[in-house]
Amino acid sequence: MNKQNFKKLISHLKKQQKSIEAARFNMRFFGVRIDGIMAEEKKNEILEMPVCNTQACLAGEATLSLKMGYITKIGGISLYSKLRKKGLTIEDAAIKFLGLTVPESERLFYFRTMGVPGSLRTYGWPEQFEHRYHQATTPADRLQVAIDRVEHFIKTNGEE
């Protein structure tokens, strides 16, 4: 685990809390552009629409915080060409630069409810964090849950 890069991620999330960028954070989407079916789905949520037309989860925010990717002019996150040429996805890049194993990334980048029923893996956020995230009513509140989640992840050395 690369704790220095985790600190950059936490700092990045904290800076967003009081900005219009807070609306970008969404654990259900991996750095994708908001259009079509996503825009329709967003109408049913109590969320502010991000001005960048992009939704990013922790993996997407990690790529932005570590300057591995950028928000494109039409929305969505793209990795810089050096990383794209290596065939990395946003998730791959975040795993690599945060120094995660695949099981650790599954615990950090997904909700438990996204896991495979009956799986033997410990998959997704601990229940208390996922519940708090779903109960949050503002972008800043969702970011606070994510910050708390990342800090807990570091404290437990990626075990939960």
Predicted confidence (pLDDT) per residue in 47-75, tens digit:
555 544 455 788 889 999 999 988 887 77
Tell me the average pLDDT of the chain. Answer: 81
Name the residue with higher pLDDT: 160 or 112: 160
97 in any annotated domain: yes
16 in any annotated domain: yes
CA atoms within 13 A on the CB side of 22: 21
51 in any annotated domain: yes
List the beta bridge partners of residue 70: 78
127 in any annotated domain: yes
The region of weakest confidence among 72-86, 98-112, 145-159 is: 72-86
Residue 74 burial (CB count, 10 A): 10
103 in any annotated domain: yes
Span 11-33, mean pLDDT?
Answer: 79
Separation of alpha carbons 127 and 111, rounded Å? 8
Q: Is the pLDDT of residue 84 over 60?
A: yes
Q: In terms of residue numbers, what domain contains 16? A: 3-155
CB-based contacts of 9, cutoff 8 Å, min separation 6: 58, 61, 62, 65, 66, 98, 150
130 in any annotated domain: yes
Torsion of CA 127, 21, 103, 155, to 10 degrees: -70
160 in any annotated domain: no
Q: What is the DSSP letter of 127?
A: H
CB 158 within 8 A of CB 108: yes
pLDDT tens for residues 118-137?
555 567 899 999 999 999 98
Count how many domains the chain has. 1
105 in any annotated domain: yes
pTM summary value: 0.82
